Amino acid sequence: MITDALDRITPHVWQLRFPGGHVYLVALPDGGFAAVDTGLPGSAPAILDALAALGGRPEALRQIVLTHCHMDHMGSAADLVAATGARVLAGALDAPYISGTLPEPPADLPPPPGERALHERTLAGIAAGGVPPLRHTEVDRPLHDGDTLDDRPEPVRVLHVPGHTPGAIALHLPESRLLLPGDAIAADPTGARAVLAAVTPERDWREAGGASTTRSPSRSPNHHPNHGM
């Protein structure tokens, strides 16, 4: 049952859990919905089932916000666009990777070991799942730091969080104290620690910025990483 994997985390936001990157559905005031991320290729039927469980027909999906260009987040965007006509929003610097104009930056795997385990677990899950080939999709609206998303039941602020990918974004819903960080924050396989900017190609940013690679997970604000929680 799809509802077994569907958790309401605020009055307007649901988390749809996948073995890889999770998907969030946001109810819009006009009866429509927005999706935050889309899971691996092949996830569109499960997302549409979740939408139906919330009372939404496919055309009710109006927006797809992609936190970054990795295939476990943008993997089903093209299928969902075809099924629903939704517009795609994503960080401006990741748009060329999502549309396929540029090849995705390679992952860099520096210490700590937990980060490598997280990456390997994600790749193993993808390989075990028999995932269909990735289809790219155009980005209708490139997003920048400080942008706000309109037509939401509460303000949604876009934060540019480069590191995991150049154009990664997080969504902040201050009224709900909710942060959807994409992969800017992940939980390591033990669930005991948060990993910041895991699998980043921008090691200089980490080394120069003083951003520690791990810290204790905080529940304030309410972080909902796509992996591990």
Q: Which is nearer to Zn ion, 84 or 165 (CB)?
A: 165
Q: How far is the CB of 105 from Zn ion (least distance, A)?
A: 11
Q: How far is the CB of 161 from Zn ion (least distance, A)?
A: 12
Residue 227 binding Zn ion, by CB under 5 A: no
Question: Of the listed pieces 27-35, 105-113, 169-177, 179-187, which binds Zn ion according to CB under 5 A?
Answer: 179-187
Q: How far is the CB of 185 from Zn ion (least distance, A)?
A: 11
Q: How far is the CB of 223 from Zn ion (least distance, A)?
A: 15
Block residue for tokens 């990993």 = 195
Within positions 59 to 78, which residues make up the interface with Zn ion, using CB under 5 A? 70
Question: Of the listed pieces 35-43, 128-136, 178-186, 216-224, which binds Zn ion according to CB under 5 A?
Answer: 178-186
Question: Of the listed pieces 54-62, 81-89, 104-112, 175-183, which binds Zn ion according to CB under 5 A?
Answer: 175-183
Residues in contact with Zn ion, total (CB under 5 A)?
Answer: 2
Give all strands of the β-sheet with 185-187 in edge-to-edge order: 185-187, 194-196, 214-215
For 64, phi then psi, to 5°, come to -125, 115
Radius of gyration for the chain, computed over Cα atoms and rounded to the nearest angstrom: 16
Q: How far is the CB of 1 from Zn ion (least distance, A)?
A: 28
CA dist 81 and 93 (Å) reads 21
Helix, strand, or coil (residue 60): helix
Cα–Cα–Cα angle for 80, 84, 89, rounded to 5 degrees? 65
Q: Which residues contact 71 (CB under 8 A, 6 or more apart)?
A: 40, 41, 126, 131, 134
Q: Which is nearer to Zn ion, 94 or 183 (CB)?
A: 183
Residue 183 binding Zn ion, by CB under 5 A: yes
Exposure of 123 in the CB half-sphere (CA atoms within 13 A): 8
Binding site for Zn ion (CB under 5 A): 70, 183
